Structure 1
Amino acid sequence: MSDAIQCVIRDELARVLASSDFDASERNRRFLRHVVEETLAGRGERIKAYSIATLVFGRGEDFDAMKDSIVRIEAGRLRRALDNYYLKHGGADIRISIPKGSYVPTFQRQGAPAAAADPPANGARALQEYAPRILVEPLDLDGDTGVYPLIARTLTRQVIAALTRFTELFVYGLDTSEQAHRAPAPAAGAAELQIDYRLSGTVTIAKHALIAEILMRREGDGRFIWAQSFEREMEVGRDPSDIVGLCAEIAGHVARIVALRDGIVDSQARILVGSDPRHFAGYQKLLDFQDYWRTLDKDRFDPLRRDLEAAIAAEPGFAAAHACLSMLYTNAGRFGYDVGNSCAEPLERALDLAREAIRLAPSSSRAYHARALAEWFLGRRDECLQSLKAARALNPNDPELMAEMGFRLAARKDWESGVPLLEEAYARSPLLTGQYRMGLFLYHFAHGRHEQALDELRAVDALSIAHVHLAAAAALAALGRKDEAHQRLARAEQLAPGVFARLREDLAFRQFHPDLIAAIAQALASLDPEQSDPVRPNKLRRI
């Protein structure tokens, strides 16, 4: 950035800070000055919640953004103050703004698209450059507007908040939504904002119901790709907090349909493969990961690992790619895959990648999911469950996180907590990857319901994983169907030679409860009349 442009930006910063129309606290004025000066100095990559909290807000070195949301809250106030200022001073030569999802300011010349001062030193691109971009238009209010005059705005805000929790999307904030809606030339505003999808709709207050009709339009060709009506019973005079709860329920449903893995956005991205704009290129890597994660197909593992390694080398700030790569290295550790010279300890590499993903994107639930998996297989069960709780707090609308938590609890025989989570996850998302049904298999197997256990296994579409066949062999053996059990055990040995011999050690590594290990081992031992305990490999018959 030239010295002349830096002078123009500093002059604009001085005008904003000196103006009585800039309605911001002294703390937020320091906040703005700090982030602008850091960016102009070429240190934009250092602008994080931690640095702002400690250097601007006076927080101690033990500041934790997960526990203390001061930076996020004050950033929202600062954005609104800037937006309100520029509504009154629209003729400024250059405009300072702080995009939602970042604390790094952008500087926009009048009539020119917004741009960051300089790309970060590590070459990372902003999220909106490689993720689908969604604008939620303010929902229109129909019906009796005097009863709940703010309900449409409340639902709009809730939809934006619910979508924002899926951090692999770029969702414009409420202020941007309202300003774009008020703009005299919507088409020009859309081009400036670079919108891919636009959500719109109507909220109707009927006699005893709240009805929301939501539509989703693809901005490139104007085609409507999804529409749905949501109706909830509502009594007139209901407590306002209950109304907010109804809006949150509808918003969560909208978010799951639109943003869930293999939801509307993912399906559209798959359709656009080969013709989509540059910013979708990184998102395609995430779709490739989801295809792998659904079946855990071993043949897909190494090509995908190499692709994601290349992705993070090219885009060091691509947090989601770090998280997906972490989950691949966890699989390398738990399934014994060869990763060549890429690292000495796959699980430690997985943990490092997950930590980096969290550093890059502290609000990414996938990053915490990745950390939880690495922690589980490193034997850190309590830490894993805490990471999963953090992930679910960041995105309670993601059924996969619910299922992951349920599976881990089921593996420890915590049926009361784990089974309801698994059942609700699959009720919310019937097409969710079947691998978590292993938790329901364990539940039924432990209670002697072996046919029901087999039914759960049939939905586990991961036939290249030896442990699926081991589980089936145990259930079949318990049912006395020994020929079928032998076939499954033979397949498990083919996929992972020696897996039967190291059964107890292997299941302990997977953090199964000792009672579950004993029950599975006993069932499999019945396949060989000379073998009472599969832990003793010297007496095993090779199948």
Structure 2
Amino acid sequence: MAANGVSSGACAVSEEEARSEAERLLADPRLHVSDRHRAFLRYIVDARFEGRSDTIKAYSIAIDVFKRPASFDPSSDPIVRIEATRLRESLQKYYAQLADEPGARLDIPRGRYVPVFVERDNPPCPEEDGELEDVGLPTEEPTQAASRPEGRNWRHAIMGGAALAAVSLTGSLAYLAASAAHLNTQKPFVALSINASQNDKAAGEAVMEDLAVSLARFGTVRLKSGASGSRVPSDAMEQSLYEINMRYAENESSVSLWWQVSDAANGEAVWTDEERRPVAAGSREEAMRDLVFAVSRRLARPAGIINTIELRRNLPSSTIGNVCVLRGEFAVEQRDAAGLEAARSCLAATIASDPTDADAMATLARVYVWIGRATGDDSYFGRGLELANRAATLSPSSPRAALAQLGVQYQLGQNEISIAAGRRGVALNPENADLLAKLSMVVFLTGHWDEGVQLARQATEIAGQPIRDASFVMILNDYRQERYAQAVFLARQVPAPDAPTTVLKLAAIARLGDRPVTQQEIAAARLQHPDLERTVTAMFSGARYDSNLRDALRAGILEAGLKMPELASNGAM
């Protein structure tokens, strides 16, 4: 079978014909299938046309279509094979009804789940070399006719069985070869080295040691033992190595750290910068700690320099592992629907490859929360909770697992458990200003106003710059207290504001009562967020707000002329 799902040879149809047939088939009332079979069909068709044919596995289908838990094992639960057989039978009956109508036909070859499109008047395409599902397991339940060869046909049955065994063996080997060819990216290595004057040497060594500890706490990179210049990993595509060369200096008034990140594979300097912190009376240690936190955050936060470089690497679409975690985190932060769907498949494939990958589980849990909020399907929240809890069990010191529990528990209305998870994550990774900002939002939205604002300010102070979630909390606090002009002022200070910040700014402007300005601002906002109402729904319908805050938000959003979804409430606090 061709890798892209359109069969080769005489059976081939064009990409346009394949897409047209898929949409026609799914919309045709003559196709009598259950809702779950229609969802199954839609899933494999979408994956095929989005270039994700390699992710169409029993594991991902079971989780995404049949709502099986992340612990799903195809060897003990044959639901995908059984339902695939039933769907094939339904498709066969459907196309038999069409008789001589010209056009394309969708086939699902036995032993595989990637749809194939062929000319309708051709027989089903023969199975070609390709990936088999559930290697080592029977790909289909034998039919009754196939299990009872009669009369002189028994010799043909034996010969056919031998041929089928040979094909199955070939397919299994092809699967293993294909799996081995798929890149499984790992967290990047970093190697640290530092220079300092003779007088500053001891302090410089202390800074490097503290930086190593701080980088490790983020859990996004791995430290390479030995000095900079260590051997580059044998497979640089799967395992990157970055050398971080530093120069420390101090005087009576300040401490500074110059640093440069280089790609060990080619020696290219990819980033150079310097951080400096003032030293007040008796606060040199505090200044050094702030310096370490600032550099560590810039390097190793999920959206930091190293992980941004990793995310931008030109890797095959079938790549799994650490890059899937980074893509998932990026999609969550951007609330990108297409990115969330792609990350879901990528992360599921990563977990299938390594069932102990706590980072992939935690990130998939967060992806599920946003998919559930966007689609209104609450089942995603339960699946997200299971994954978040498993991630925390596998890696109790993981900030990603704590962040996943923070988000999922909050979504389920378990506020105190959510906040406890966030506090644990901050204790594990105190330099993680992004995590602290997200904790501040949950604390604030559940009605703990003063503490939420205090945490937001702490996060901004650690980061040394505005953070989206922390800024949102402080804007929302001014809005809540009817300081609308101040809320608008703060919202205008946020660089590249996201949809919630934009909507909150519009609500505050509307409450000021200047209708012409409100209309101008809404028109400008629509240029950045064309489907603003849908954005409002996606961002607000799944959030849980204190009831008083909910009422204040509803009033402002309605006055701005935007459609307002129902907001979930935490009740009076």
User: Where on the TM-score scale, by shorter chain, does this alignment land: which range?
Assistant: 0.5 to 0.7
Q: Could you tell me which residue of structure 2 aligns to residue 212 of structure 1?
A: 257
Q: Could you tell me which residue of structure 2 aligns to residue 377 of structure 1?
A: 411
1:420-435 mapped onto 2 (5 Å cutoff): 420-426=454-460, 429=463, 434=468
1:392 pairs with 2:426: yes
Question: 1:171: Cα distance to partner?
Answer: 1.6
Q: Could you tell me which residue of structure 1 aligns to residue 513 of structure 2?
A: 480
Q: Deviations over 1:201-232 (max 9, x none)?
A: 33345466544333322211122333334445
1:272 pairs with 2:316: no
SS of equivalent to 1:134: strand
Once residues 470 and 419 of structure 2 are traced to their aligned partners in structure 1, the CA distance between those partners, rounded to angstroms, is 16
1:408–1:233 distance in 2 versus 1, CA, 3 Å? closer
Preserved CA contact (<8 Å) 2:491 2:502? no
Q: Could you tell me which residue of structure 1 aligns to residue 218 of structure 2?
A: 166
Once residues 402 and 430 of structure 2 are traced to their aligned partners in structure 1, the CA distance between those partners, rounded to angstroms, is 13
Any gaps of 5 or more consecutive residues in structure 1? 1-122, 339-343, 537-543
Preserved CA contact (<8 Å) 2:484 2:511? yes
SS of equivalent to 1:200: strand
SS of equivalent to 2:197: strand
1:377-526 mapped onto 2 (5 Å cutoff): 377-426=411-460, 429=463, 434=468, 437-454=471-488, 459=494, 461-463=497-499, 471=504, 474-481=507-514, 484=518, 495=534, 510-523=543-556
Question: 1:314: Cα distance to partner?
Answer: 2.0
1:405–1:204 distance in 2 versus 1, CA, 3 Å? same
Question: 1:480: Cα distance to partner?
Answer: 2.7
Preserved CA contact (<8 Å) 2:190 2:223? yes
Question: 1:452: Cα distance to partner?
Answer: 3.7
1:317 pairs with 2:350: no
1:513–1:257 distance in 2 versus 1, CA, 3 Å? same
Preserved CA contact (<8 Å) 2:362 2:401? yes
Once residues 259 and 418 of structure 1 are traced to their aligned partners in structure 2, the CA distance between those partners, rounded to angstroms, is 25
SS of equivalent to 2:545: coil
Once residues 566 and 247 of structure 2 are traced to their aligned partners in structure 1, the CA distance between those partners, rounded to angstroms, is 63
Structure-1-length-normalised TM-score: 0.58
1:153–1:360 distance in 2 versus 1, CA, 3 Å? same
1:188–1:257 distance in 2 versus 1, CA, 3 Å? closer
Question: 1:337: Cα distance to partner?
Answer: 4.2
Q: Could you tell me which residue of structure 2 aligns to residue 352 of structure 1?
A: 386
Question: 1:478: Cα distance to partner?
Answer: 2.0
SS of equivalent to 2:321: helix
Once residues 566 and 312 of structure 2 are traced to their aligned partners in structure 1, the CA distance between those partners, rounded to angstroms, is 50
SS of equivalent to 1:165: helix
Residue identity in the other structure for 1:252: F
Residue identity in the other structure for 2:293: G
SS of equivalent to 1:143: coil
Question: 1:385: Cα distance to partner?
Answer: 0.9
Question: 1:402: Cα distance to partner?
Answer: 1.7
Q: Select which of 134, 142, 163 maps to 2:190.
A: 134
Once residues 361 and 129 of structure 1 are traced to their aligned partners in structure 2, the CA distance between those partners, rounded to angstroms, is 19
Once residues 345 and 534 of structure 1 are traced to their aligned partners in structure 2, the CA distance between those partners, rounded to angstroms, is 20
Once residues 295 and 531 of structure 2 are traced to their aligned partners in structure 1, the CA distance between those partners, rounded to angstroms, is 41
Q: Select which of 380, 401, 405 maps to 1:367.
A: 401
Preserved CA contact (<8 Å) 2:478 2:487? yes
Once residues 321 and 248 of structure 1 are traced to their aligned partners in structure 2, the CA distance between those partners, rounded to angstroms, is 31
Q: Deviations over 1:519-539 (max 9, x none)?
A: 2344467689xxxx9989xxx
Preserved CA contact (<8 Å) 1:450 1:479? yes
Residue identity in the other structure for 2:214: A
1:205–1:404 distance in 2 versus 1, CA, 3 Å? closer
1:204–1:301 distance in 2 versus 1, CA, 3 Å? closer
Once residues 166 and 418 of structure 1 are traced to their aligned partners in structure 2, the CA distance between those partners, rounded to angstroms, is 23
1:336–1:437 distance in 2 versus 1, CA, 3 Å? farther
Once residues 356 and 466 of structure 2 are traced to their aligned partners in structure 1, the CA distance between those partners, rounded to angstroms, is 28
Q: Deviations over 1:268-321 (max 9, x none)?
A: 224432389x9x852322332233223212343323222222221123222221
Residue identity in the other structure for 1:171: L
Q: Deviations over 1:239-280 (max 9, x none)?
A: 8xx65544322211110121123322023224432389x9x8
Once residues 229 and 493 of structure 1 are traced to their aligned partners in structure 2, the CA distance between those partners, rounded to angstroms, is 40
1:69-218 mapped onto 2 (5 Å cutoff): 130-137=186-193, 139-144=194-199, 150-172=202-224, 176-177=225-226, 180=227, 196-204=241-249, 206=251, 209-218=254-263
Question: 1:455: Cα distance to partner?
Answer: 5.1
Q: Which shows bigger deviation, 377-386 or 253-262?
A: 253-262
Once residues 192 and 495 of structure 1 are traced to their aligned partners in structure 2, the CA distance between those partners, rounded to angstroms, is 44
Preserved CA contact (<8 Å) 2:437 2:469? no
1:451–1:301 distance in 2 versus 1, CA, 3 Å? farther
- How big is the alpha-carbon RMSD for the aligned residues of Structure 1 and Structure 2? 4.3
Once residues 142 and 306 of structure 1 are traced to their aligned partners in structure 2, the CA distance between those partners, rounded to angstroms, is 51
Taking every aligned residue pair, what percent have the same amino acid on both sides?
Answer: 19
Once residues 296 and 385 of structure 1 are traced to their aligned partners in structure 2, the CA distance between those partners, rounded to angstroms, is 22
Q: Could you tell me which residue of structure 1 aligns to residue 20 of structure 2?
A: none
Residue identity in the other structure for 1:140: N
Q: Could you tell me which residue of structure 2 aligns to residue 225 of structure 1?
A: 270
SS of equivalent to 1:216: strand
Once residues 550 and 276 of structure 2 are traced to their aligned partners in structure 1, the CA distance between those partners, rounded to angstroms, is 47
SS of equivalent to 1:136: strand
Preserved CA contact (<8 Å) 2:507 2:553? yes
SS of equivalent to 2:356: coil
Residue identity in the other structure for 1:219: A
SS of equivalent to 2:272: strand
Q: Could you tell me which residue of structure 2 aligns to residue 18 of structure 1?
A: none
Q: Deviations over 1:53-94 (max 9, x none)?
A: xxxxxxxxxxxxxxxxxxxxxxxxxxxxxxxxxxxxxxxxxx
Once residues 412 and 246 of structure 2 are traced to their aligned partners in structure 1, the CA distance between those partners, rounded to angstroms, is 47
Q: Select which of 267, 288, 291 maps to 1:247.
A: 288
1:468–1:243 distance in 2 versus 1, CA, 3 Å? closer
Preserved CA contact (<8 Å) 1:286 1:320? yes
1:18-57 mapped onto 2 (5 Å cutoff): none
Structure-2-length-normalised TM-score: 0.55
Preserved CA contact (<8 Å) 2:413 2:544? yes
Preserved CA contact (<8 Å) 2:431 2:462? no
1:131–1:227 distance in 2 versus 1, CA, 3 Å? same
Preserved CA contact (<8 Å) 1:289 1:324? yes
Preserved CA contact (<8 Å) 2:361 2:391? yes
- Structure 1 or 2, whichever has the larger Rg, is 2
Preserved CA contact (<8 Å) 1:469 1:492? no
Give the number of aligned pairs.
373
Once residues 547 and 479 of structure 2 are traced to their aligned partners in structure 1, the CA distance between those partners, rounded to angstroms, is 14
Preserved CA contact (<8 Å) 2:332 2:340? no
Preserved CA contact (<8 Å) 1:288 1:304? yes
Q: Select which of 300, 303, 309 maps to 2:342.
A: 303
Any gaps of 5 or more consecutive residues in structure 2? 1-178, 568-573
